[in-house]
Amino acid sequence: MTLKEDTEVMDEVVVVGYGVVKKSDLTGSVSSVKSEDLNKIATNSPIAALQGRAAGVNVSLGSGSPDATASIQIRGVGTPNDNSPLYVVDGFPMSEISYLSPNDIESIEILKDASACAIYGSRGANGIVVISTKKGKKGTLKVNFNAYYGIERLSSKPEMLNSAEYAELSNIAAENNDADPIYASTSGLQNTNWYDEVSRLGQYQNYNLSLSGGNDKVQSVFSVNYYNRDGIIKSTDYNRISLNQNNIFNVADFLKFTSSMSVSMTDYKRLDPTSILLSSLIAPPDVPVWNDDTDYYSGIIKMRLENSVGRIARNNGTNKSLFFVGNFSADVNLTKDLLFTSRFGIKITARHSSYFIPVYYETTDNSTLLNTVGRGTTKETDWTWENIMTYHHNFNDVHDLTVMGAISARSFTADTYSGTKQNAVNDNSEYWYFDAASENPLLTGYGNELAMLSYLGRVNYNLLNRYMFTASFRADGSSRFLPENRWGYFPSAAVA
């Protein structure tokens, strides 16, 4: 048996920062994951779909709450505070991609070492995740629909003590502590399985419809995706609907326009599953869920615990988000070897949260005298405009040279406001508004602004298709620093 070189893999093109290269010509460390691998796992998160599919990449799936996002570390911890990587979607850098459905992704490239990441400056300190979304292709209209449904439960369910067993062990503990028995009798006690009261069988479902096709002049793809997940903890859920449209316009032999637009809407209810499950594990089973005397959920006085079922019942808050992401680019072939690209990307995010805390009494440590109406809103606008000049020439199949130079401008603004007001007319949902409340108004807010200007360049040289050299340089100027310390410089080089 003899080994043969897989030329198809060697000639495969991968996307790197500000360009593409053949896999055989890479000098930096890059992992590539294609769409067929991403869709092998049932998840709404592109990052969760990467788990176990790229060397040197650690993916954590968060708390297990339906709205929890997966986190990713590339080659360990790169910075002491936030060690999340930079995401680049169709050339547009951003800090998070929760709006994106895995069904809309063509490929993900993960840039891992300094040589590959330096082209993005300080933003690439923790690695780069480069995402290419699906584009339209020439051909007749193709319609694709896929769906899945699943259920989930905790992998291991603890066996809880009943009230008689709990009372017996409590009396033994008191006896060992030279104290009087806590329970005069261990029979006839109320029996509550708190674990069963707060948990359920979770379920999730996903539906995706896409249409693609085109001719020599125009290629398009349109997709719509709906994802729903009901969490294992009661009163937690997540819903997302997203629309995606990509177009390629071949205006002339030397001119091409590309546009991609995504709109995503999410709606979810959140609870911390860790604290809910912990409370259910340690709550005494002889305490009933409901107290008939107070006509409300029972207070757990022994351990000063919040009634976890009552907490779930009070989880009436909603969290809604709206994302719009647009990428627009123009490619102009000035000569056979010289390409000019201008692209503009914008992301607009609007988030709104609301909640209502009713008047209730479980214990003196867990009660309210006045109900509370709460609202919060955040709006973010992030745009980047880049102009790139790329020269590529092959000299008699001996020397292959690619030179890239670019200028990039970025603007980011954010405004956040939150407010509360107390003593609404009553606890009915039609009064969960500020106008219906009369006491203790409180409003807070803050803003955030950032402007950046960057100059960057890269040289790729290939000798005899065997020896490769890459050098890059980036200069970043940020408005967050004083003028004398405003610029940072990021050079790199690699030989293979």
Residue 420 scores a pLDDT above 90? yes
Query: Token digits for 482?
Result: 């004083």
Residue 383 scores a pLDDT above 60? yes
pTM higher than 0.85, yes or no? yes
What are the φ/ψ torsions at residue 313 (nearest 5 degrees)? -65, -30
- DSSP code of 368? -
DSSP string, 85-133: PEEEETTEEES--TT--GGGEEEEEEE-SHHHHGGGGGGGTT-EEEEEE
- Counts of helices then strands in the chain (DSSP H, E): 7, 25
Predicted confidence band of residue 2 (pLDDT cuts 50, 70, 90): very low
What are the φ/ψ torsions at residue 475 (nearest 5 degrees)? -120, 120
Alpha helices in 371-448 (DSSP H): none
If we measure between CA atoms, which residue out of 44, 168, 154, 181 comes closest to residue 99? Answer: 44
Residue 7 scores a pLDDT above 70? no
- CA–CA distance, 290 with 277 (Å, rounded to integer): 19
**Half-sphere exposure of residue 120, counting CA atoms within 13 Å on the CB side?**
27
Place of tokens 């509550």: 192
Residue 408 scores a pLDDT above 90? yes
**Half-sphere exposure of residue 419, counting CA atoms within 13 Å on the CB side?**
13
155: helix, strand or coil: coil
Instruction: Evaluate whether 123 touches 95 at the Cβ level (below 8 Å).
Output: no
Q: Which helix (H) or strand (E) covers residue 106, if one does? A: strand 105-111
Q: At a CB cut-off of 8 Å and minimum separation 6, what does 54 contact?
A: 31, 33, 110
Query: Buried (b) or exposed (e) across 129-157, using 16+ Cβ within 10 A?
Result: bbbbbbbbeeeeeeeeeeeeeeeeeeeee
Averaged pLDDT, 179-199: 91
Residue 28 scores a pLDDT above 90? no
Instruction: Evaluate whether 219 touches 135 at the Cβ level (below 8 Å).
Output: yes
Percent of the chain with pLDDT over 90: 59
Higher pLDDT, 279 or 4: 279
The number of angstroms, rounded, from the C-alpha of 209 to the middle of its chain's C-alpha atoms is 22
Tens of pLDDT, residue by residue over 302-360, are: 777 889 999 999 999 999 999 999 999 999 999 999 999 999 999 999 999 999 999 99
> Position 33: which residue type?
V
The pLDDT, as a whole number, for residue 465 is 84
Contacts from 160-166 at CB under 8 Å and sequence distance 24+? 160/193, 160/194, 160/195, 160/281, 160/285, 161/285, 162/191, 162/285, 163/189, 163/190, 163/191, 163/192, 163/285, 163/286, 164/189, 166/284, 166/285, 166/286
Predicted confidence band of residue 10 (pLDDT cuts 50, 70, 90): very low
Percent of the chain with pLDDT over 70: 95
Higher pLDDT, 17 or 167: 167
Residue 453 scores a pLDDT above 90? yes
What radius of gyration, in Å, describes the C-alpha atoms of the chain? Answer: 29
The number of angstroms, rounded, from the C-alpha of 282 to the middle of its chain's C-alpha atoms is 33
Query: Token digits for 246?
Result: 């990509």
**Half-sphere exposure of residue 283, counting CA atoms within 13 Å on the CB side?**
29
The pLDDT, as a whole number, for residue 1 is 41
Residue 77 scores a pLDDT above 80? no
- CA–CA distance, 403 with 242 (Å, rounded to integer): 38
The pLDDT, as a whole number, for residue 29 is 77
The pLDDT, as a whole number, for residue 8 is 45
Alpha helices in 147-285 (DSSP H): 163-176, 194-198, 273-282
Query: Token digits for 338?
Result: 């010289």
Residue 4 scores a pLDDT above 60? no
If we measure between CA atoms, which residue out of 11, 42, 124 comes closest to residue 456? Answer: 124
